[in-house]
């Protein structure tokens, strides 16, 4: 079997869903288990509705619910020919939306939104998308079955997201999907899984459907995990920043994981580890251009011959925390920092130390960073700089390429980009540095021109 995932843009309209259905039908012989994301824009609307409920903006809430309803009902009408099936889909959407409305009204009264309630609200986007695709396939005579992973783990059994949690998720996915595949049916799975401890947005992050598809692939020992999106593959830079980019033919697991970690939105950062564990190749494909080969991610990867690395990426919304006047010894300070970051759910990316100070970049909500700052202040002076970004170039080609870092930094210097922190891992898969968030576009464009001009650049956006 193969695990196949379609993103929000791919599911964005009746026409697009038709295209997705055709791709699924073409893949039928390979026994696809299909995971889908919400129609583009729907998760944002659901998050807005939750916010409106909690802040008591009832009119805004009603207007959002109406928009969600209209978008889905129109799509169903365009998508489903058989009257009884169309009615089934309309009734399903209406019932779920009535439930959501009641739920949001209750939240407005209580004035409190737990991570679990939050999950219940945003799950709807993936539930609707999966339901519509399954009914559309049914309408065309295929044995498609809608699978909601919303309750794939029993509520309250786990209090944290750890390897045991993921093992249970995968075991339950296996028993839920296997009977469908055995009878040659097509499971259409919600990209939302579980109502996870701490909430899926906080715990896994937006774009979680990629990760769900990877878990499905790992659970069912897929031959391949395919992530279908709106670009021809992983590119040498974000196409919204650089208009002519190189489509990367093959990357290693390590490179793809680094790229996703450093902000390349095309795959969710957690997509790679389930694939690594079972050595399952991951392929990125374009729904709007299914003939294109896409990008293949494998254990070994393949070297780029026209540039000294694979891709440039950046992660915005980074805070630099600098500690000085530390009252504890260095080892104690380090231990305390890691403990506090873990306690507050704040991820550290880069660290730089000297005798007098220690700087680290953290990612996390303002609330979490403030809580961390408060704790750190107990044993040192803390200075916080917001509005920063981590810029990274990624590629195994860089290993032992003497002089590359010099070229990297001088390119940034030439366009007036100041560098606040620098890091390079021992495996030399990436070079990363901290720059101002406002310099990201300028930095990426300059680096791309410097390093990728010898490459054939077919992708124009």
- Residue 235 binds which one of ligand ADP, Mg ion, ligand ASP, none, with CB within 5 to 8 A depending on kind? ligand ADP
- Distance, CA of 35 to CA of 3 (rounded, Å): 8
Q: Which of 442, 456, 206, 459 is nearest to 312 (CA)?
A: 442
**Pair 79, 14: CB distance under 8 Å:** yes
> With respect to ligand ASP, which residue has the nearer C-beta, 37 or 359?
37
Q: 290 is in the binding site of which of ligand ADP, Mg ion, ligand ASP, none (Cβ under 5 to 8 A by kind)? A: none
Does position 238 interact with ligand ADP (CB under 6 A)? The reply is: yes
Tokens of 20: 């997705």
Which of the stretches 4-12, 81-89, 128-136, 237-245 binds Mg ion when contact is defined by CB under 5 A? 4-12
- Which CB sits closer to ligand ASP, 268 or 310? 268
Give kind and range of the element (H or E) at residue 253: helix 253-261
* Residue 170 binding: pick among ligand ASP, Mg ion, ligand ADP, none (C-beta 5-8 Å cut-off by kind): none
Minimal distance, residue 268 CB to ligand ADP, in Å: 8
> Applying CB under 6 A, does 207 fall inside the site for ligand ASP?
yes
**In contact, 181 and 217? CB cutoff 8 Å:** no
Min dist CB 8 to ligand ASP, Å, is 5
Stretch 187-226: interaction string toward ligand ADP, x if CB under 6 A: --------------------x-------------------
**Six-digit token string for 321:** 């925390």
The smaller minimum CB distance to ligand ASP, of residues 267 and 393, is found at: 267
Distance separating alpha carbons of residues 242 and 246, to the nearest angstrom = 10
The reply on whether position 207 binds Mg ion by CB under 5 A is yes
How many Å separate Cα 273 from the centre of its chain?
A: 13
**Interacting partner of 191 out of ligand ADP, Mg ion, ligand ASP, none (Cβ under 5 to 8 A depending on kind):** ligand ASP
**Residue 7 touches ligand ADP, criterion: CB under 6 A:** yes
For residues 119 and 104, give the distance between their C-alpha atoms in angstroms, rounded to a whole number.
13
Give the separation between CA 200 and CA 194, rounded to whole angstroms. 8
Alpha helix locations (H) across 80-206?
83-110, 115-139, 163-182, 200-203
> In this complex, which beta carbon is closest to Mg ion, that of residue 100 or of residue 188?
188
Exposed e or buried b per residue across 199-225, where buried means at least 16 C-beta atoms within 10 angstroms of its C-beta: bbbbbbeebbbbbbbbbbbbbbebebb
With binding defined as CB under 6 A, does residue 240 bind ligand ADP? yes
Q: Give the residue, chosen from 99, 105, 206, 330, that forms a contact with ligand ASP under the rule CB under 6 A.
A: 206
DSSP-derived secondary structure for 72-94: HHHHHHHH--SHHHHHHHHHHHH
User: Closest residue to ligand ADP, Cβ-based?
Assistant: 7
What does residue 317 show for φ and ψ, rounded to 5 degrees? 60, 40
* Cβ 285 to Mg ion shortest distance, Å: 13
Q: Report 119-178 residues binding ligand ASP (CB under 6 A).
A: 125
Distance in Å, CB of 217 to ligand ADP, minimum? 16
Residue list 7-46, contact with ligand ASP (CB under 6 A): 7-8, 37-38, 43
Cβ within 8 Å of residue 209, ≥6 positions away: 5, 7, 35, 36, 37, 126, 191, 192, 268
Residues at the site binding ligand ADP, with contacts judged by CB under 6 A: 7-10, 37, 207, 229-231, 234-235, 237-240, 264-266, 311, 313
Residues at the site binding Mg ion, with contacts judged by CB under 5 A: 7, 207
Residues at the site binding ligand ASP, with contacts judged by CB under 6 A: 7-8, 37-38, 43, 125, 191, 206-209
């Amino acid at each position: 079997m193969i695990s196949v995932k379609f993103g929000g843009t791919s599911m964005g309209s009746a026409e697009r869903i038709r295209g997705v259905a055709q791709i699924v039908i073409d893949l039928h012989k390979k026994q696809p288990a299909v995971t889908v994301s919400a129609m583009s824009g729907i998760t944002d609307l659901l998050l807005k509705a939750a916010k409106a409920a909690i802040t008591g903006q009832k009119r805004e809430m009603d207007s959002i619910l109406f928009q969600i309803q209209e978008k889905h009902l129109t799509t169903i009408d365009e998508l489903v020919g058989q009257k009884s099936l169309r009615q089934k889909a309309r009734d399903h959407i209406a019932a779920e939306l009535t439930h959501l409305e009641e739920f949001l009204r209750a939240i407005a009264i209580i004035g409190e939104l737990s991570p679990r309630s939050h999950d219940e609200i945003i799950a709807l986007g993936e539930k609707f998308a999966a339901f519509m695709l399954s009914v559309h396939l049914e309408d065309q005579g295929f044995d498609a079955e809608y699978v909601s992973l919303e309750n794939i783990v029993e509520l309250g059994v786990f209090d944290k997201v750890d390897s045991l949690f993921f093992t249970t998720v995968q075991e339950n996915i296996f028993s839920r999907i296997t009977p469908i595949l055995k009878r040659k049916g097509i499971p259409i799975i919600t990209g939302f899984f579980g109502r996870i401890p701490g909430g899926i947005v906080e715990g896994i992050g937006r774009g979680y459907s990629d990760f769900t598809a990877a878990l499905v692939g790992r659970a069912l020992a897929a031959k391949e995990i395919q992530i279908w999106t709106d670009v021809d593959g992983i590119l040498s830079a974000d196409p919204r920043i650089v208009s002519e980019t190189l489509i990367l033919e093959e990357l290693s697991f390590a490179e793809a994981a680094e790229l996703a970690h450093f902000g390349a939105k095309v795959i969710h950062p957690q997509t790679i580890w389930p694939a690594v564990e079972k050595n399952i190749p991951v392929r990125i494909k374009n729904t709007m251009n299914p003939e294109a080969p896409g990008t293949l991610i494998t254990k070994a990867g393949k070297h780029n011959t026209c540039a000294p690395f694979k891709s440039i990426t950046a992660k915005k919304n980074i805070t630099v925390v600098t500690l000085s006047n530390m009252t504890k010894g260095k080892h104690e300070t380090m231990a305390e920092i890691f403990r506090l970051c873990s306690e507050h759910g704040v991820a550290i990316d880069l660290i730089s130390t000297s005798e007098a100070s220690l700087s680290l970049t953290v990612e996390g909500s303002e609330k979490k960073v403030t809580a961390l700052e408060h704790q750190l202040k107990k044993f040192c002076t803390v200075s916080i700089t917001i509005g920063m970004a981590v810029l990274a170039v990624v590629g195994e080609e860089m290993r032992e390429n003497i002089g590359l870092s010099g070229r990297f930094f001088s390119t940034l210097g030439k366009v007036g980009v100041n560098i606040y922190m620098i890091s390079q891992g021992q495996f030399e898969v990436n070079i990363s540095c901290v720059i101002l968030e406002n310099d990201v576009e300028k930095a990426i464009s300059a680096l791309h021109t410097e390093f990728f001009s010898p490459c054939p650049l077919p992708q124009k956006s």
